[in-house]
Amino acid sequence: MANPSDKVVVKWVNDTRGRVCWVILASLCLCGSTQLMEVFRDESQVIYKYVGMSLVSLYVILLVKSLFSETPTISYRSGSCLRSFVPLVFFIIIVITIYYHRTLGVSILTVSILFGVVALVQLLFPIDEFYVGYVMVIITLGIFLAYGLVDYDLDQVIPFGYIFSNVFLYEMIIVVINYPGNHRFFNRY
């Protein structure tokens, strides 16, 4: 067992304020996942509903476990490549999911699942430099991306240029935030 004095606590990642923010984010994502019931109300999609409810139950169990356990130490130190790559993956998942299912329920479910997983990982295995504020910027950009895609009519085809330009713009915002050097945003609060 690790020595308690070896525990590394980073402000807004795994300190008390950061953990409270992660718990609030995880709880909000859990509330957003209740849209799962509305998305899968068709009788042909019952298996998805049960799988989804099983995953939500597992999520609740892990969330409660993280609440009653001691604050974990930093598990991994991320570099600027990881900090730029993770949002790109999230944006691509949002685009692909919402491109094929353009409803508000699917967009809420997608954003809730993605950022609920981030909050749960930060509660159980904190990653250094994934601050609460940084993740909130990614969530805000993901919501803007989802809203822009849901805004199109169902019978309209979303132009590839529109999708590419939005993802490119949001990823450039993330790259600017992760710019190496002393002037980096979210370097230390």
Evaluate whether residue 189 is within a structural domain.
no
Domain span including residue 129: 8-177
With respect to residue 39, please indicate whether it lies within any of the assigned structural domains: yes
Domain contains 183: no
Pick the more confident residue, 2 or 30: 30
Which single residue is written with the structure tokens 């904190």?
Answer: 126
Q: For residue 138, tell me if it sits in a domain.
A: yes
pTM attached to this predicted model: 0.78
* Tally of structural domains, the chain: 1
Asked if residue 127 is part of any domain, the answer here is yes
Residue 174: pLDDT band (50, 70, 90) is confident
* pLDDT for residue 181 is more than 60: no
Least confident of 7-11, 28-32, 34-38, 125-129: 34-38
| The predicted structure's pLDDT at residue 189 | 40
Whether 158 is covered by a domain: the verdict is: yes
Q: Domain for residue 26, yes or no?
A: yes
pLDDT-wise least confident of 21-25, 30-34, 123-127: 30-34
